[in-house]
Amino acid sequence: MNIETIGFIGTGVMGSSMARHLQAAGCKVGIYTRTRARAQALLDLGMKWYDTPAQLAADSDVVISMVGYPCDVESIYMGENGVLSAKKGGYIVDMTTSSPKLAQRLYAAAKEKGIAALDAPVSGGDSGARNASLAIMVGGDEAAFDDLLPVFQAMGKTINYFGGAGCGQYTKMANQIAIAAGMLGVAESLAYAQKMGLEAGKVLETIETGAAGSWSLSNLGRRMLRGDDAPGFYIKHFIKDMRIALESAREAGLELPGLQQAKKLYDQLAAEGMEDKGTQAIIKFYLR
């Protein structure tokens, strides 16, 4: 890769694996996260710790962020000691699933400082991050996308450019809309199989080979049957994504009743203290 130094902000369930792949591709990787102890495994691999996003940005050709919420994105880039307070030129890439409007604001603020900004949310969950097989959806200037394609290729397999600033986030919202309705279908199907006295695992093995087959059924469906609620993707983050999708759909005059219902059920689980569970925990709604 021509990019030598990458600053990575956010080393959670997915970010940690993504940073490892960038280092394996030959980049020097610096990291910043709110809790240093959670990044210790990466520091043990030789990655360098920075105390603020600004310090990280000053030493990096590219800054990549993978955090939780739009407010986090705004803080690390535009806040006091944020990336834009120190970075001069180069690239910033927000891979958080965030607001398209915020992506457009960040693009404009970066452009004023001669920085190329891309919004590049991902899909594939924890397994996609571990296996460097993420789908990466990119918005911003196409020239910047071309420059950073080798960086994306270190983390993902399906990498597509969709247009100007915010287009990556709009594409990710389309992805989340499809997942939301699909998750209800997977949970309802497996709950139904169990209630009818069927061997649900065998049902899954059978129907996943036909028209009902999907990534969610084959992967998260199995987690549902094992009672494995560990988060590949947190319920609280999924609710955030659904809220953003519904807001942008309303602005476009589009009604999404399936998404509305999915958010309603996930909101109920969060209210019951399950916001830090994986999205597959939705089956608990049906098996009470």
Query: Domains (ranges, CATH) in the chain?
Result: 5-164 (3.40.50.720), 170-286 (1.10.1040.10)
List the pLDDT tens digit at each of the 288 positions of the chain.
568 899 999 998 899 999 999 999 999 999 999 888 889 999 999 999 999 999 999 999 999 999 999 999 999 999 899 999 999 899 999 999 999 999 999 999 999 999 999 999 999 888 899 999 999 999 999 999 999 999 999 999 999 999 999 999 999 999 999 999 999 999 999 999 999 999 999 999 999 999 999 999 999 999 999 999 999 889 999 999 999 999 999 999 999 999 999 999 999 999 999 999 999 999 999 998
Non-local CB neighbours of 270 within 8 Å, separated by 6+ positions: 235, 236, 239
Asked if 9 and 31 count as a contact pair (C-beta separation under 8 A), the reply is: yes
pLDDT at 1: 52
Among 172, 240, 263, 277, the active-site one is 172
pLDDT at 130: 95
Task: For residue 172, indicate whether it is catalytic.
Answer: yes
Residue 161 CA to chain centroid, in angstroms?
A: 17
pLDDT at 3: 82
pLDDT at 94: 98
Asked if 62 and 151 count as a contact pair (C-beta separation under 8 A), the reply is: yes
Mark 37-64 as b/e (b = at least 16 C-beta within 10 Å).
eebeebeeeebeebebbbbbbbebbbbb
pLDDT at 178: 95
Mark 144-180 as b/e (b = at least 16 C-beta within 10 Å).
bbebbeebbebbbeebebbeebbbbbbbbbebbbebb
pLDDT at 279: 96
Looking only at the bridges linking them, the beta strands covering 134-139 and 122-123 are: antiparallel
Exposed, middle or buried: residue 202 (CB in 10 Å: 0-12, 13-18, 19+)? exposed
